[in-house]
Amino acid sequence: METREPAPAGSQPETVIAALNRTWFGAGLPPETQTRLAAMGHIERVAAGTELLREGEIAEDFGLLLSGRVALRMLVPERGMVTILTVEPGDIIGWSAIVPPHRSTSTVVAIEPAEVLMLDGAALRTALRADHALAATLYPRVLQAVGRRLNATRLQLLDLFARDELARGEALRAW
């Protein structure tokens, strides 16, 4: 059952700013940056199983996971949907909303009830293009998040390939 609903007081600027400050991504952002982001955002509660983004589709929102966990899944030929990474609170989802061509690189599914700060992608792109100080503040954090994600994904893929090699070796020995 997929459900997305606004959190109580989830669009109040002070609620959004408080949520930003509870994360590594948002903590320490200048007050004017937090205020600008708060004007573009709202907090949603999502049920386990809710699909937030779909691989290949336009990423409408840039999100910051506040609580719960979400799985990043990709369609792998001959395997179907494979979870490539689990995202923990404080990290971003939907970074494709601010990076051309604005298409999601994975499907994002809540694997437990979650709370997500969603920023309107079009409004954020416009603000980043118009305000170089905002861009200079946010893009390094986005790059840090993407770098963390790449490293975590690499480790998970190494583990996956190691398990596949082990299984192939056992199958050959059994043959």
| Contact between residue 72 and residue 106 where contact means Cβ atoms under 8 Å apart | yes
Per-residue pLDDT, 30: 95
- CA dist 14 and 16 (Å) reads 5
Per-residue pLDDT, 24: 93
* Mean pLDDT of successive 10-residue stretches along the chain, which has 175 residues: 69 92 94 96 96 97 97 92 92 96 96 97 97 96 92 80 69 62
Q: How many Cβ atoms are within 10 Å of 36's Cβ, its own excluded?
A: 20
Helix H segments across 28-131?
31-40, 121-130
The number of residues making up the chain comes to 175
- CA dist 116 and 135 (Å) reads 22
Q: Which CATH code, of 3.80.30.20, 3.10.129.10, 2.60.120.10, 3.10.310.30, is assigned to 4-174?
A: 2.60.120.10
| Contact between residue 106 and residue 53 where contact means Cβ atoms under 8 Å apart | yes
Domain range annotation of the chain? 4-174
Please, what is the Cα angle at 124 between 120 and 126, to 5 degrees? Answer: 125
Is the whole-model pTM more than 0.75? yes
| Contact between residue 71 and residue 86 where contact means Cβ atoms under 8 Å apart | yes
| Contact between residue 49 and residue 71 where contact means Cβ atoms under 8 Å apart | no
Per-residue pLDDT, 2: 65
- Helix (H) or strand (E) holding 16, with range, is helix 13-21
